[in-house]
Amino acid sequence: MSEYKSDLLIIGSGPAGYTAGIYAARAGISSLLVSGAQKGGQLILSSEVENFPGFADPITGYDLMERIRQQAQKIGVHIIDDVITEVDFFDHPFVCNSEAGNCYTSRAIIIATGASVKWLGLPSEQKYIGHGVSSCATCDGFFFSGKEVAVVGGGNTAVEEALYLANFVEKVYLIHRRHSLNAEHIMQKRLFENRKIIIMWNNIIEEVLGNDDPLEVTGIKIRNIKTDRVQKLAVSGLFVAIGHHPNTELFRRYLRLDGGGYIATNGACGETDIKGVYAAGDVCNPYRQAIIAAGCGARSAMEAIKYL
């Protein structure tokens, strides 16, 4: 248990948090970055990143975040691997307490806590999480080599997961509740060209089917919302890729959220309603792009530096 005092506290270690740290360190601001439970944020679960400038060849999300962390450390960002569990924005300087029992006091704060996976909300889905139901193909896909799996969703994440899984599974069913995808054109093209991927348009998942002993998925029950036809698909895994929600729980008491549940800022990121508190990245906008989060981190740091 320790007491830390700094001018700036950055909460979160995704592209937004690390970039904010880099800008603050280069400006000579006394700052601390508390990483959160998932060091490197959501991107460490991404298989390949090919739209982050500076890399001619795709780089894994994990490697990209490791490089950014190393860059931050080299520049002098003080990173503490801890999880903030409580904040008090009523008094100034601000006080944050952590899982490790540490107390952080700072004059300014940048919230870069990112977003978390959305689940379908079916009881059968919850039952099999970790036993065939997953939200991360990069983490768990390998266990399904040679098997048939399903992915649910119609955005970039779902398409990316389906394409990744098709590298080593026998067949991928992409279950989508519409008749068109909202993924990038280039991703859709790759998807349509992949013979291992079968798209089940206009379908929703009604139930995840499986055994109790051992706890394992054996299939899914889907229903076509146009025809009402119900089918069972014999799959061993279900990957849920239906979006994310911003990690705002700690801050709701103090900060205004916008209509989408994101922390309201002056623009896509930066100043919140409380002077000295800034937000950056997926916690305050829906883009979920590493480069946008990094840009937000830089902007928030520049605003915080001016404030300090």
Q: Which of 23, 177, 235, 255 binds ligand NDP (CB under 6 A)?
A: 177
Q: Which residue number has the CB closest to ligand NDP? A: 155
Nearer residue to ligand NDP within complex by CB, 73 or 289? 289
Residue 154 binds ligand NDP (CB under 6 A): yes
Catalytic pick among 82, 140, 269, 284: 140
| Nearest approach, Cβ of residue 188 and ligand NDP (Å) | 12
- Alpha-carbon torsion, ordered 264, 277, 248, 20, to 10 deg: 100
Q: Which is nearer to ligand NDP, 25 or 200 (CB)?
A: 200
Kindly state the greatest CA–CA separation across the chain. 63
Whether 139 is catalytic: yes
60 phi, psi to nearest 5 deg: -70, 155
Indicate the residue among 52 and 307 with the shorter CB distance to ligand NDP: 52
x/- binding map, residues 70-109, to ligand NDP, per CB under 6 A?
Answer: ----------------------------------------
C-alpha torsion sign, points 62, 65, 70, 76:
negative
Name the residue among 91, 82, 28 with its Cα closest to residue 304: 28
Q: Pick the stretch among 101-109, 163-171, 215-223, 237-245 that binds ligand NDP (CB under 6 A).
A: 237-245
Number of residues that bind ligand NDP (CB under 6 A): 19
Beta-sheet strand order (sheet of 215-224): 203-212, 215-224, 230-233
Burial of 286 by CB count in 10 Å (0-12 exposed, 13-18 middle, 19+ buried)? middle
Four-point Cα dihedral 227, 233, 237, 239, nearest 10: -10
Q: Is 296 a catalytic residue?
A: no
Contact between 182 and ligand NDP by CB under 6 A: the answer reads yes
Distance of closest approach, residue 176 Cβ to ligand NDP, in angstroms: 6
* Site membership for ligand NDP, residue 152 (CB under 6 A): yes
Q: Residues in the chain, how many?
A: 308
CB 159 within 8 A of CB 185: no
Q: Which residues are catalytic?
A: 136, 139-140
Residues that bind ligand NDP (CB under 6 A): 51, 120, 152-158, 160, 177-178, 182, 241-244, 287-288
